[in-house]
Structure 1
Amino acid sequence: MLSPFPKPWRTGQHCRYLALLAGLLYAIGAHTESAHPLPAASLTDVSGLQVGSYTLPSGTTGCTVILVAGEGAPGGVAQRGGAPGTRETDALHPLNLVDKVNAIVLSGGSAFGLDSASGTVRWLKEQKRGWDVGIARVPIVPAAVLFDLPVGDNARIQPDVECGYKAAQTASTAPVQQGSVGAGAGATVGKLGQPMRGGLGSFAYRMPNGLVVAALVATNALGDIVDPDSGRLLAGARDAEGKLQDARQLLRDGRLFAQTMPRMGENTTIGVVATNARLNKVEVNRLALMADDGYGRAIYPVHTMYDGDTVFALATGHWEGKADMSLIGALAADAMAQALKQAVLQASSLPGIPAVKDLLPERKP
């Protein structure tokens, strides 16, 4: 029987050819696999930041703390929702004195949850970290809260000082834990109908030149969450039979105007974007403003009178490259949109409040 291989393969050289071919196939396979098995990028990819979450024993509310190493970093804020619950945001205004932030706290519990920030302040005080006023160091800890009181037993038990302290204690540079944890433990989305689960999400872009731009968000929107890449509906308002309705279509065909809006006050999406670039206080406020566009790419409708939507920004300055504010801001908006997507994809269900994971296969992204 004639061999199907050419003569060189029959003279012993075929071993080398096969080895080269195997090596090439392995390299292609390894390259293909490397796009996915790498650890998921999150806010802690920004050097100088640690993230810790504490979920109350009830499992339906909690807080998330972002700690800044050393003396702190310039901070900014964009607050465009109509019903905010915040603390220390005036200190971030470029016209005001303080130019460094030591931590940011995101919490459930509505206004009650603002107590979480006091716990983080206490922890930072024990570490002797804060704004140096001569006789003491005063920790600068801006905070924002979302409304999750109707979920579980949250109307009776909310995040408090101990929540903020414990979250700070557990903060680390490990990849951010996502889903139904910390500030996102009681989060829901799609309150224009029967809601679905929101959650805590994070995402980061790592550029070849060393620049990192990342986001973390507790997603608790009145509106639906759509895939920022495809525009496909991921999670949101459901009808009485549990089917997704799509708030975009409900609004455009007039159905929303013919009904009383249910659960309109139970909202607010709060998040943080950060970069390792060196930015001043004016630039980092611009970063927060540009990053807020990520909300508009993944939430519909967004910034309503019933949402307290807030975005904080940090710039740790650990990267020595030249910072282009426009490019960094554009990446921050994309990172925020992707973090919103991750929040609902990673969430877990509660009785009567399903998560994306519970949807039928044909509805999954």
Structure 2
Amino acid sequence: METMKIHEIPGFRFGQVEDLEGGTGCTVILCPDGAVTGVDVRGGSPGTRDTDALNPVCNREVVHGVVLTGGSAFGLDAAGGVMKKLEEEGIGRDVMVTVVPNVCAAVLFDLKFGSMAARPDVAMGYAACEAALQGNPIQEGNVGAGTGCTIGKIRGPQYAMKGGLGTCAYRQGDLMVGAVMACNAMGDVVEDGTILAGARNDDNTGFAGTEEWLIQHSQRQRDIFSGKLVGENTVIGCVVTNAALNKAQAAKLAAVAQNGIARAVRPANATFDGDSLFAMCHGTVPADPDAVGILAARAVEEAIRRGIRAAETLHGRPAWRDLPFVSQST
């Protein structure tokens, strides 16, 4: 097994647009030829578009684009811009009078970061789709859907950190599997059982430990949340592969790939998370579905960490690279 760049997986294109001043953005994953796609939604507060059609019992054969976006539910408008551009390019389901692109989306909550009035819209989705069609390599950190990501929010924004967008891909023989992840978690990001980034302690000399903090305050749940954390969290992403999988296998792949979120984020899939993961399959490479799932989970896990390491301090949320108590050799 070797690492590779995710844009090297054939059939897929990636584009993103961000508003750094507003603190939001969107990322588009395209498969112009259409990808067999599954989805797994585990968070208790998701925001998605057109995911029901991905159920294996439905007749949606392929998907042409997946949108990962900030802006909470408002950000779903960005998918309309992707559809508009794809229709102009003749990419979509032929319905005789036009083509209808199949575009799915998942959102994260970044309205309390930067400007509340800044939300991904049709124009931003259109621009991100244009960027994807150019076939450029995807960037990491404060880009696309990662722009407004923050993590470690359980103790309030003054102790939170900057999240970001990350990618990771692996090659095993002819098989290629990669992941694009935007980490906006309530909790901490961990590596080898140690907190890599998350909620900081009072004097900024270490991490508070979100899971332990929640356990210690378990009897004060209503006081802790009281609506303040509703929708503020979420890890969203997309797995892409050249494995020849059917729709049911793609749905299972998305579910197995969620293991990567559980390994990298603690806690994961919480009440106010909207954790959602797509899996797009386009190719003819025969592969054991379980092997593809193992690689996908590893890619998701590492992509989350890469997004944290690539993020930069923005709007008062310090990045991992700027913490005085973190070794940059980690």
Q: Same fold (TM over 0.5)?
A: yes
TM-score by length of 1: 0.84
The residue type paired with residue 77 of structure 2 is D
Equivalence for 2:254: 288
How far apart, CA to CA, are the structure 2 residues paired with 1:127 and 1:78? 29
How far apart, CA to CA, are the structure 1 residues paired with 2:89 and 2:62? 16
Instruction: Give the paired residue count.
Output: 319
Is the counterpart of residue 52 in structure 1 residue 18 in structure 2? no
The Cα shift of 1:124 comes to 0.3
Match of 1:200 among 165, 171, 179: 165
TM-score by length of 2: 0.92
Is the counterpart of residue 111 in structure 1 residue 73 in structure 2? yes
Equivalence for 1:157: 118
Residues 122 and 300 of structure 1, relative CA distance in 2, 3 Å threshold: same
Instruction: Tell me if the contact between 2:24 and 2:119 (Cα under 8 Å) persists in the aligned partners.
Output: yes
The Cα shift of 1:162 comes to 0.5
Bigger strand share? 2
Equivalence for 2:30: 67
Alignment of 1:1-365 (within 5 A): 41-56=4-19, 58=21, 60-70=23-33, 72-153=34-115, 155-171=116-132, 172-193=134-155, 194-207=159-172, 209-227=173-191, 230-242=192-204, 243-252=206-215, 254-255=216-217, 257=219, 260-261=223-224, 263-265=228-230, 266-317=232-283, 319-320=284-285, 322-360=286-324, 362-364=326-328, 365=330
Q: Secondary structure at the match of 2:35?
A: coil
The residue type paired with residue 336 of structure 1 is V
RMSD over aligned CA atoms reads: 1.7
Residues 362 and 152 of structure 1, relative CA distance in 2, 3 Å threshold: closer
Instruction: Tell me if the contact between 2:48 and 2:104 (Cα under 8 Å) persists in the aligned partners.
Output: yes
Deviations along 1:289-346, one digit per CA (max 9) or x if unpaired, are 10011110000011011001000000111x43x2100100111011100001111110
Q: Which runs of 5+ in 2 are unaligned?
A: none
Matched residues, percent identical? 43
Q: Identify which of structures 1 and 2 has the higher relative contact order when contacts are C-alpha pairs closer than 8 Å and 6+ apart.
A: 2
The Cα shift of 1:258 comes to 5.1
Q: Secondary structure at the match of 2:63?
A: coil
The Cα shift of 1:134 comes to 2.7
Q: Secondary structure at the match of 1:221?
A: coil
Q: Which runs of 5+ in 1 are unaligned?
A: 1-34
Deviations along 1:257-316, one digit per CA (max 9) or x if unpaired, are 457436422111110001111111111111101001111000001101100100000011
**Rg larger in 1 or in 2?**
1
